[in-house]
Amino acid sequence: MDWLKIYNLPGKPDIQISQMFPADALVSSPRAEKARLYSAIEQRLEQSLKIMDGIISSRVHVSYDVDNGDSGKTALPIHISVLAVYEKDINPEIKINDIKRFIVNSSASVQYENISVVLSKRRDIIEQAPTYEISEPVFAYDKAMPVSILLALISVATCWLLWKYRAILTNLVRLKIK
């Protein structure tokens, strides 16, 4: 189970832009289209980052101006944040630079200083089954053995007495019959 959790298995299926924007779909509003487009961009960036060497899983969040200058105000810059889980044997600082360079080169409107990357080491995988210490033995042999011997002796004595009693009764019955 640890492997499934650490490596996010089974993974989400890759989404294609054509799935986000089917040809026969109605356009609800420019804002809705923009939101769907940025959502698709986030998902595609996540998929691409997972292909990078040493990255196990990733999440990408794009913060954008909904109006984007449409209301006469100056458009706010786009900010992208990346959360990625990496293998333990990579240099995180080099990987942060690689991720930032990849994000900057994937979008013309993103500036390098508006990208934040948070890396997290993957958890250790437990290779063996967990062991449990028992504080007291469940079955105490040092106490059970004498009790078992005593019960066996009582059983043997009872059987011997019943056999003797049966023999006495049998003799009495024979005497009465004669």
Strand partners, 121: 86
pLDDT of residue 97: 93
Q: What is the side-by-side strand order in the sheet with 55-63?
A: 55-63, 79-86, 115-121
- The architecture in CATH of the region 2-121 reads 2-Layer Sandwich (3.30)
pTM, two decimals, is 0.56
Q: pLDDT value at position 143?
A: 72
Q: Which residues of 14-47 are buried (b: 16+ CB within 10 A; e: fewer)?
A: eeeeeeeeeeeeeeeeeeeebebebebbbbbbbb
pLDDT at 109: 84
Question: What pLDDT, on the 0 to 100 scale, is given for residue 102?
Answer: 93
pLDDT tens readout for residues 40-68:
888 889 889 988 988 888 889 998 877 76
Note whether 12 and 44 are within 8 A (CB): no
Low-confidence spans in the chain with pLDDT less than 50: none
C-alpha radius of gyration, the chain, whole number: 38
Tell me what pLDDT residue 116 has.
Answer: 93
Long-range contacts of 36-42 (CB under 8 A, 24+ apart): 38/62, 38/64, 40/15, 41/107
**Cα–Cα distance for residue pair 87/120, rounded to 1 Å:** 9
Residue pair 103/81 in contact (Cβ under 8 Å)? The answer is: no
* Tokens 């640890």 -> residue: 2
**C-alpha angle with apex 98: 46 to 106, nearest 5 degrees?**
55
- Predicted local distance difference test score (pLDDT) of residue 170: 80
Using alpha carbons, list the distances in angstroms from residue 42 to 64, 86, 159.
12, 19, 84
Amino acid at 122: R
Helices 92-106, 30-51: crossing angle, 10 deg rounding? 140
